Amino acid sequence: MANVIDQITAWPVVVKPGRSLLKVDGVWKKTSVLYAHNPHELRRLYHEVWYLAWPSLIQQRIAGEGQGVFGLFDCGKPLALFAHRRLREKPPSGGVSVLRESIPVPQAMADYAVRLAQSADWHGVAMVEFKVDTGSGVPYLMEVNGRFWGSLQLAVDAGIDFPWLLYQFATTGTIRDVPHTYQPGIRSRWWLGDLDHLMLRWRKSHSQLALPPGSPSRWTTSLSFLRVLDRNTKSEVLRLSDPKPGIYELADYTRSLIQSTGAAISRRFANLHGAVTRALWKAGLLFGVHRRLLKSRFPAKVSRVLILCKGNICRSPFAHRWLQRKVSEEHISVNISSAGLDTVPGKEAFPLAAIVSRDYGIDLGHHQTAAVSAKLVANADIILVMELAHIRQLLARFPDAGRKTFLLGHFAQSKPLTDIRDPYGDAPEEFDRCYSILSAACDGFLVYLRKQVHAHG
């Protein structure tokens, strides 16, 4: 990954998964286009996003309109060509088009598409997509797909029925009455996708959506959405002449909306509960409540310590190695281990974590992630976590672990804190700050271990 990043000369970049759908454990899952504005974000994406373990493409981001040339080819020879431009997409920064318009076939893009088809001796349908740079007007090739495209209905509405043409070609080898023209200015609208686009625009900020400069405002988008009487705009799915697909999609959309709304409400309550608990702890730390609780709850004998964070690639590996080194130096007989609450086994430490940890004399070069398990939890005398949220996650799976679970930040002697924030995806300075906090908290934990050693002779 480091070699790839070194070759990138312009940011931001677009990260495209090789496939829009991937089958995982027998279930088809969707992927989406991602954006990285700097090397740290790109590293984070490739460590965090599951589908980037499969082949992917990194491209320079071109600010401009998406346009495509679509065709049916006979061993590279174009039998029918069509073009459209994307007016709105989901997500708004780039994805599946939810409103698109037929346009005359641009000659430059058509030439590119035909040359590509000829070089591959392509036989069948294909889509060739471009981004037209706003400043220069130059079309940049984005991707080629040898299949039917999502906006196929627009081509049919504009006058080129590609499925019918392909059927004729596949069954007879010839096409009767190949249409050489179609109607530009016809629009196709995926209503439910367009509704999602609108809701995303209002729910998230310009920067959160990674929108390019010059994107329309929320109000402009809303007014455009409300234009429903344009005769040249056809509904892609919802049609009176064939209502069943639209009814099915609407029912499925409603079910998904209810489920996502319920999940969002649950998250809001969980966040509220966490905020209240965090505020109470902030006040409690000022009065030393944490010290009294640590003194009363700390086990009489500790032989195994388990340190947890989310991914076991940044925080818990560092704390693990720091404590392991300290107890070894002081000849304290304690076994230290670490794991992740949301990870898969066998991954390396995050590259920036491994680099910054060296400044503290910690080598994470041979670290391999471990996932928390019932055995690890049962064997531990003490479990140290980084955040309040980790306690909730842990107890949801292992309710009996509550009595031996502690917030590592509470052990810090001079500046105790409730949450030790994850530096994952941030700049080196944030890793340094996190590791400074972790080392101080681990040293505070050692104070309790020493007391235990002295108490037992």
Segment of 42-46, 292-296, 392-396 carrying the highest mean pLDDT: 392-396
Segment of 45-49, 172-176, 316-320, 329-333 carrying the highest mean pLDDT: 316-320
Do 83 and 68 touch, CB atoms closer than 8 A? yes
315 is catalytic: yes
Phi, psi for residue 142 in degrees, rounded to 5:
-100, -50
Catalytic residue among 315, 321, 434, 442: 315
For residue 192, CA distances in Å to 45, 93, 198, 237, 254 come to: 29, 17, 10, 9, 10
291 is catalytic: no
Domain co-membership, 70 together with 216: yes
Domain co-membership, 359 together with 252: no
Domain co-membership, 298 together with 418: yes
Q: Identify the CATH number of the domain in which residue 332 sits.
A: 3.40.50.2300
Q: Identify the CATH number of the domain in which residue 139 sits.
A: 3.30.470.20
Instruction: List beta partners, residue 383.
Output: 306, 405
More confident residue, 41 or 6: 41
Split into its structural domains, the chain has a count of 4
- pLDDT of residue 237 exceeding 60: yes
Domain co-membership, 35 together with 184: no
Residue that the structure tokens 């981001």 belong to: 61
Domain co-membership, 385 together with 365: yes
Do 197 and 88 touch, CB atoms closer than 8 A? yes
**CA–CA dist 350, 134 (Å, integer):** 37
Q: Determine the average pLDDT of the residues in 136-160.
A: 92
Domain boundary among 45, 60, 75: 60
Domain co-membership, 229 together with 105: yes
Domain co-membership, 138 together with 157: yes
Do 92 and 215 touch, CB atoms closer than 8 A? yes
Domain boundary among 215, 236, 257: 236
Domain co-membership, 345 together with 419: yes
User: Within a 13 Å sphere around the CA of 97, how many CA atoms are in the beta-carbon half?
Assistant: 23
- pLDDT of residue 116 exceeding 90: yes
342 is catalytic: no
Domain co-membership, 403 together with 384: yes
Domain co-membership, 162 together with 271: no
Domain co-membership, 99 together with 13: no
Domain with 108, as residue range(s), is 64-236
- pLDDT of residue 457 exceeding 60: no
- pLDDT of residue 23 exceeding 90: no
pTM here is 0.68
Domain co-membership, 256 together with 315: no
Catalytic residue among 422, 426, 432, 443: 422
